[in-house]
Amino acid sequence: VYMGMSLVHVLGNPTMATLIDRMGKVNGIVGGCTFLSTSMFILPYCTEMNEVVATCGLWALGSTMLSTAPVSFISDNVSDRKRAQAIALFRTAGDVGFLLGAMSAGAFADVFDMDTALHASAGMLLSATGWFTTRSLLGSKESKH
């Protein structure tokens, strides 16, 4: 399954980059996060292999969107002089998120169960997505004044 998700990345990155450029970076980030949180929420309910494959495909699609949109968003919003540092900070924050997220989800699954851990992760990502969306909308309204 994981290899299939990587295949979606390899084949989808060029197409997704073009789509992100057309639809906008914020929409790409929000869409990618929404696909990820939706697939996290659905995965515990999958009982057949084809359901797991479809859900992981949605997960991979969201992940592919997030391999392009955030870096492009940073590039558009940070000065040339600070761009490399901003991207490095973004990548480091992502790695810290993978470390702490995996440990937290594992501990949560030990205390409760894996389904609850996935649902909690989906809820946290959806909350962060809502916050990002709100900030982006407020920021775009402020910049128009």
Note the pLDDT tens digit of each residue in 36-79.
999 999 999 999 999 999 999 999 999 999 999 999 999 999 99
| Averaged pLDDT for residues 28-35 | 97
| Residue 141 pLDDT exceeds 60 | no
**Residue 131: its pLDDT value, please?**
97
- Global confidence as pTM: 0.88
Average pLDDT for residues 84-104, to the nearest whole number?
93
Measured distance CA(127)–CA(37) in Å, rounded: 10
**Chain-centroid distance, C-alpha 122:** 11
- Nearest one of 86, 61, 82, 60 to 71, comparing CA atoms: 86
Q: To 10 degrees, what angle do helices 83-111 and 49-77 make?
A: 150
The token pair at 37 is: 């949180």
Q: pLDDT (tens digit, 9 = 90+) per residue, 5-26? A: 888 889 999 999 999 999 999 9
Spatial contact of 9 and 64, defined as CB atoms under 8 Å apart: yes
